[in-house]
Amino acid sequence: MASLGKLSNSMISITNENTLALLNVNIDFALVRCDPSPEYSKVGSALTLKRKHEAENGALHSIACKLGFLFHEMLPNTPKLHRAYGTRISEILARPGINPEGTKNDGPFRDFVGADCTSIWAAATSGPASISMLFLACMLARAWDAKTTTSIWVELIDERKKQIWAQVDANKIVHPHSLAASRQDLSRADLASWDASVRSWLRRADAAMVSRATQLQLVAKNLSIPYWSAGSTFERVMMNWTRSMEMVEKLLSNIPQEASTRAVLVAISSWHLYPDLLVFQEKARKIPFTDELFPTSGILSTGLEYKGPVDNVTQWSLSLSHFRYYGHPVLVQSENNQDRVPARKLWVAALGVIFRQWEVSYSKFDDAVAWFRVLGNVLRRSNKADCAELSWLMHLCNAAATVVGAAGELNDGGLIKYGWRRAKPFLGHDHVAMRNPFFGLRNPYVVTSLTKSSEIDCGIEYLRGIALHIGLRPNEAVHKVEYRHPSLIARSSKKRKAPMDEATPNKGYTTSTINHASDAIGCFRLMSRACIPPVEWLMSLRALELVTCLYDAFDAATVSLRILDRSILKANWLPDFFRDIYNLNSITTTPVATYLAKMRLAETFSCIALFESGHLDIAPDQMNQVLALCSEDSIFVASVMLCDPGTKPSNNVQVRHLIGNVGHSGMVLMVSPIAPRIRAVGHNPELVAHRPYDDDKKDSFGGTSLHLSFTTWKMPLDWEDTGAIDQSIFIVESVVSVQDNGQWVADIDVLDMVENYPDIVEEFLCDQDCDTASPESTQDIVSIDSWEELLDPPPCAAVFRAVDNWPARLAAVCIIVQQSKGHCAAIIQGGKLCLSCLRSLYSDPEPHLPDLIIN
């Protein structure tokens, strides 16, 4: 850095002609490094070795340097903002669960686990100008999707280079850093990777600052102030960005500011710096965020100036000429609905969908939510709360119970309203629901009857309630029932009028009561049917249950609210048994955990891709070879890659969720190479001992580890192609390598192993002396204690000794499957290896042992 500084100083003092001549010197920006300020020191220590190397020496470091050098002349001086940002990042990284450390249990993904703050460290080690460029990257990632953001970056860089060379042509002095950077190439792929790292970080930081972030979001949604909209696309972005930096710098300097542009709200949201707000709407209201980084007088006032039309003022509009391969510039608007929520929050939005169909107005939401809460309490007091038939209803009741705060206000009222406004297609367009609002349960006698423990008692209680309501006296009842319709209720001979409701149609009745228990059950059941929602709704709610059950296994994963724009029943991931309307009875009576266990891995990945993105509805047939999926800060991995071979997941979920990022842009579908390589067998006889097996349980493969890398093969998945230059989803060839003390052994395809599993032998329940009773049981059996001994197998049965070492056992099974020897191998799952019992197990056509035993 010092030598570069000397070169820069000498270049500034000379004329433009000489400067242009010196520009033929090719500067490697990956070698340009500076010491970060102390506030950022914890970022470096929080990175994995792989990410730290990338941030200091790799492509991201080079990108940060190039951007900083290219734009540094246009940047305001904001030292307080730089320091505050570094302090906030360090604070976020220190919070529990935000930056988990990879462990052996994460297998080949160990180096990719944790918060991806690679872009931050790359900027911090590239200089203050690069940190300012990071601020812009965060703002763009907050406001736009990845494809649009990449196009904006291309537009900004192209225009900035034009400006620099226009100055050169006009014989004006240009800073040599700017000139040097203007000659550098910044590809779309580079910019997409830079953006991907920033997006991954934003998700982690949002999770850490969820309370303040939600509060700011609610304020922003209710304000009608515009973005800076004058000038070209370049001028708009630069103005919104630089003014936001200047404003926050002044706030940090204890100087109150007034937000004249909406961009400052995007800025403080994406930088996770929260000054106190003074909001002027109907009246002035102070909203304290108590952010200790801001002094007491550093208050941001907003909502004062703008008096113009309110249409689209909350969206950032730009015209992009680098968005499509062909055509006129494309007008794009920022995404205001990029909110993500835990999967269970979708039930809160579903309440809004239901309220819309029932024509419940905003003003009645409190009453409708209270109704669901009471219904849930009634069901919990009965024995019906845990039955599969009503599980969908309990989800709705539980959602209603979670949205009410201590003071009785609706905490998620905005999400219910969002569902009411935006999620109409989510449960389908079946308007039959309008005929039966509140599931026919407005009748108080129906609700009371549900507290009983059996259908008989429910039916009797229901009839008693109706009889009491109409004033039926005991001497008017007989012990035989004759009803013309199963839902007709006892009525006096004087034709007293029954209450009008969905469950009690206005029919004529005769004086009657119950003769058999089956009559009460029958009456309780057209009543029950009156409570069942339309078929499309019911199947949609059961499908939502299946998604909820899946995501319950993913502790920190969230879903996109964009999913509410489409029908859940029309999604490609949905298993065939959920699509058949004739299976309705089975679907409503079977626990969703049973269906989750039946889902194929490809269907699970298809479901995750849709709910992670909100719009990528990929057919499972296109996911058959996918071993892992990565999007922003989440990696979803096939469970078979992270456990002992043959182990079944305890929660019926075939996928594990890891917090991390693999460094590729967009949604990444990882697939194995078609023919993974295996190390060739050497010719050194000293490497292969094949000693006789001595019945010793041990792990001879402690130096074995699994590693993930990527080839250069990366193919965009043709998804709703609209001529856009950038894509949202990619298939990436991913290599899982087996290493032994740093030496490469083989590349493995775990999914191929799943298709060709060896035998799984559970623990033998035999006598402890079973082996000793058969001295010949260990004859002609050798031990395999090295990878060379496995790759060069013996002509007899052998025991691969890797007790309690799942990576080595997994690797061994994959290798023998790839060598087409999986049919003659057995895996011992725990317990003692009894060779006599194993020989008995393989007694057909005669007693023998598998060629390879994984113990």
Question: Which of 249, 281, 302 is at the close of a domain?
Answer: 302
> Does residue 849 sit in the same domain as residue 790?
yes
* Residue stretches of the chain with pLDDT short of 70: 1-30, 304-338, 405-409, 429-436, 440, 447, 450, 473-525, 527-533, 579-584, 718-726, 762-779, 822-823, 830-832
> Does residue 126 sit in the same domain as residue 255?
yes
> Does residue 462 sit in the same domain as residue 564?
no
Contacting residues for 481 by C-beta, under 8 A, at least 6 apart: 512, 513, 514, 515, 516, 519
Give the number of domains in the chain.
Answer: 4
827 and 758 Cβ atoms separated by less than 8 Å: yes
> Does residue 210 sit in the same domain as residue 241?
yes
Q: Quick check: is 90 in a domain?
A: yes
Q: Quick check: is 848 in a domain?
A: yes
Written as one letter, the residue type at 452 is K
pLDDT of 3 reads 39
> Does residue 490 sit in the same domain as residue 580?
no
- Convert the pLDDT of each residue in 495-542 to its tens digit: 434 343 433 333 333 333 333 444 444 544 574 554 556 778 888 899
Q: Quick check: is 733 in a domain?
A: no
Long-range contacts of 525-531 (CB under 8 A, 24+ apart): 525/455, 525/486, 526/485, 526/486, 526/487, 527/440, 527/446, 527/449, 527/459, 527/462, 527/487, 527/503, 530/436, 530/439, 530/440, 530/487, 530/502, 530/503, 531/439, 531/440, 531/441, 531/446, 531/503
> Does residue 189 sit in the same domain as residue 228?
yes
Separation between Cα atoms, residue 532 and residue 390, nearest integer Å: 10
pLDDT of 420 reads 92
> Does residue 106 sit in the same domain as residue 48?
yes
- DSSP 8-class letter at 36: P
> Does residue 41 sit in the same domain as residue 106?
yes
**Distance, first Cα to last Cα, the chain:** 55
pLDDT of 575 reads 87
pLDDT of 483 reads 38
Measured CA distances, 765 to 665, 762, 832 (Å): 51, 9, 9
pLDDT of 324 reads 61
Q: Quick check: is 766 in a domain?
A: yes
Q: Quick check: is 593 in a domain?
A: yes
Structure-token match 């009543």, residue found: 527
> Does residue 29 sit in the same domain as residue 117?
yes
> Does residue 527 sit in the same domain as residue 553?
no
> Does residue 203 sit in the same domain as residue 65?
yes
Q: Quick check: is 323 in a domain?
A: no
- Sign for the CA dihedral angle at 216, 221, 223, 226 comes to positive
pLDDT of 506 reads 34
The pair of structure tokens assigned to 743 is 């030496």
pLDDT of 471 reads 72
pLDDT of 328 reads 64
Provide the domain limits for residue 499.
439-531
Question: Which of 547, 566, 598 is at the close of a domain?
Answer: 598
> Does residue 294 sit in the same domain as residue 373?
no
Separation between Cα atoms, residue 112 and residue 820, nearest integer Å: 31
Output the CA angle 208-209-211, nearest 5 degrees: 125
